[in-house]
Structure 1
Amino acid sequence: MRINVLQHTPNEGPGTIKRWAQQNHHDLYIYHPYQFGVLPTAEETDFLVVLGGPMSPNDSFAWIMKERQLIQTLMEQGKPIFGTCYGAQQIAKTLGYAVTKAPYKEVGWAPVYLQSTVIPGVPPQLMALHWHEEMFEIPREAERLFSSDLVKNQGFILNGNILGLQFHFEPEAEDIREIVINDAEYARHHNALQQSPEEILQMAIPPENRNVMFHLLDFITK
C-alpha cells in the first residue's frame, strides 16, 4: 500500500505513523505542499494522511484548496484518510462543515474521553498531546469519537475509513522535543491548560498511545 503523507510544518512529522507503515511493509511518501506546492494524485494514493500545522483550513492558499480537492476525490473513491489537528479540520471543511475558534486554546497534555464504541478495543480515557486553538464541527454523517474537558469535538469517524483527531497520538519523544523547541512561544500565551514548554517536555508519553495509534490505523485501512 502506498501511504501519502501531507506534512505542513517541519516540526510535525508522521511519528508513529511511519513506524506503523514500516511494520506493515507499506511505502510511505511525504509531501510538503506548504513549501513546494506538490501534492500526490488520487490514483497514486492508497491511504492519505493529513498532518497538523500552524495554518487554518480557512486560509486562502491555493494548495489548501487543492488538498481539499484531493480529499474529496479520495472520499468518492472510498479510500482511507486520517487527519490530525489541521488535517482533521481539512476533512471536516471538505465535507462542508465549519472550522472555528475553539472555546479554549489547548496546548499540552490533557485527557481525551472515548465517545463511541464503533472502534472496539480503544480505552475509555487516554492522555493526548494538544496543540491547537481551532476546532472542527462534527460532520452529520460522522460519529463523535473523542471529547476533552475543554473542547467537545476532539475526534470523529466516518464510513469506517475516515478518521479525524483534533489532538495528537502520533508524536514520539523526539517529535515532541522538536515541536516544543520550535514552537514554545505558542504554549506560553493564553493557554487554557496552563502548561509551560518545560512541563510539556517533562511529561512521558503514555506507552498506550502508540498502540492506540496503530489500532486506529489498522481499523480504517482494514
Structure 2
Amino acid sequence: MPYMKSHLKVHYFQHIAGEGFGSCYDFLKSHNAKITATEFFALPVDLPLEIEALPHIEDVDLLIIMGGNISVNDEANYPWLKIEKRWLRRYLASGKPAIGLCLGGQLIANALGAAVSHSAYYELGWTTVQRVRNIPENCFQLPDQLKVLQWHSECFEIPKGAVHLAENQMCRNQMYQIGKNVLGFQFHPEITPQTLEMFLDNDDQIEVFKGDVLPSLAELKKTNKTYFQEGNQLLNQAIEYVLEAS
C-alpha cells in the first residue's frame, strides 16, 4: 500500500442530509485521518455564504466532494453554489488532491468551465462502465469494465485538459482525471448498503426519475452486498492514487 500521510486532514463537501462519507470513511479512519465536513444542505438559502466560512486550503490534505439531488446550474435557488465553485477553483489551482463523486464530479468539471446538462438517458441502478481505450500508462488504471451504481439525471463534459477514463452507452462521460491529483466520477463508487437504503427512502432523490425506471427501485432494495465491493475498492485505490501526487 502506498505511503499515506499520518493524521491526514480530509474534508468533504456534503449536499444531502444523512449521506455521510460512504465506504471510504472506515478506510480513511484506519489511517488515522482527521475528517471534517461542510454541510451545504444545512445552509439557509436566503443568507449569503462567505467564502471565508469554508476551510483554509492549507488545512485540507484531501478534498472529497459528495453527491446530491441538485443541479450545478441551479445557482438561483442555491446561491452558495457560486461560492463552492469559486473555492473549488482556488483549491484545484493549488494542486492538492480531490475526488468528486457524481454531483461532486460535475461540480469540479463545471468549476473548471465544462458544461453539465441533462442526460439523454437517466441512469438509476447497477450498470456496467468500460475503461476508455488508449488511456496513457501514467494515468489511473481501471479494469476493462466495472459494475457500479448510477443515480443521476445530468452529466458532465470532460474538462479541458482532463483525460477521459471511463464510459458506457447510456452516458459517455463516466470518469475523468486532471493531472495526477484529481479524479471525477459520474457514478457512485462510495455507495454502501446503508447509503443506498437512504437514497431509496428519500423522495427528493427519486423525484427526477420518471416512468420506466421506477419499477427498478424494488429490485435495488434487494441488492446483494457483494455488488458494493468493486466500487468501494476502486475508491480506496483512487484515494491512494491522488494522495501519491501530493
TM-score, structure 2 normalization: 0.83
Match of 1:88 in 2: 105
- Aligned equivalents of 1:159, 1:190: Cα separation in 2: 40
Match of 1:169 in 2: 189
For structure 1, the 5+ residue unaligned runs are none
Match of 2:198 in 1: 178
- Aligned equivalents of 1:195, 1:155: Cα separation in 2: 27
The SS at the match of 1:104 is strand
Distance 1:111 1:187, change over 3 A: farther
For structure 2, the 5+ residue unaligned runs are 1-7, 44-48
Matching of residue 4 in structure 1 with residue 37 in structure 2: no
Match of 1:78 in 2: 95
- Aligned equivalents of 2:129, 2:30: Cα separation in 1: 27
- Aligned equivalents of 1:195, 1:160: Cα separation in 2: 40
TM-score, structure 1 normalization: 0.92
Matching of residue 110 in structure 1 with residue 117 in structure 2: no
Moved over 3 A (4+): 183-188
- Aligned equivalents of 1:174, 1:198: Cα separation in 2: 15
- Aligned equivalents of 1:159, 1:172: Cα separation in 2: 28
Coordinate RMSD, CA, aligned? 1.8
| Aligned-residue offset at 1:187 | 7.5
Match of 2:57 in 1: 42
Q: Residue type of the partner of 2:242?
A: I
- Aligned equivalents of 1:124, 1:195: Cα separation in 2: 30
Return the match for 1:18 from 10, 25, 35.
25
| Aligned-residue offset at 1:143 | 0.6
Paired residues in the alignment total: 220
- Percent identity for Structure 1 against Structure 2: 28
- Aligned equivalents of 1:11, 1:197: Cα separation in 2: 20
- Aligned equivalents of 2:156, 2:90: Cα separation in 1: 20
Match of 1:119 in 2: 140
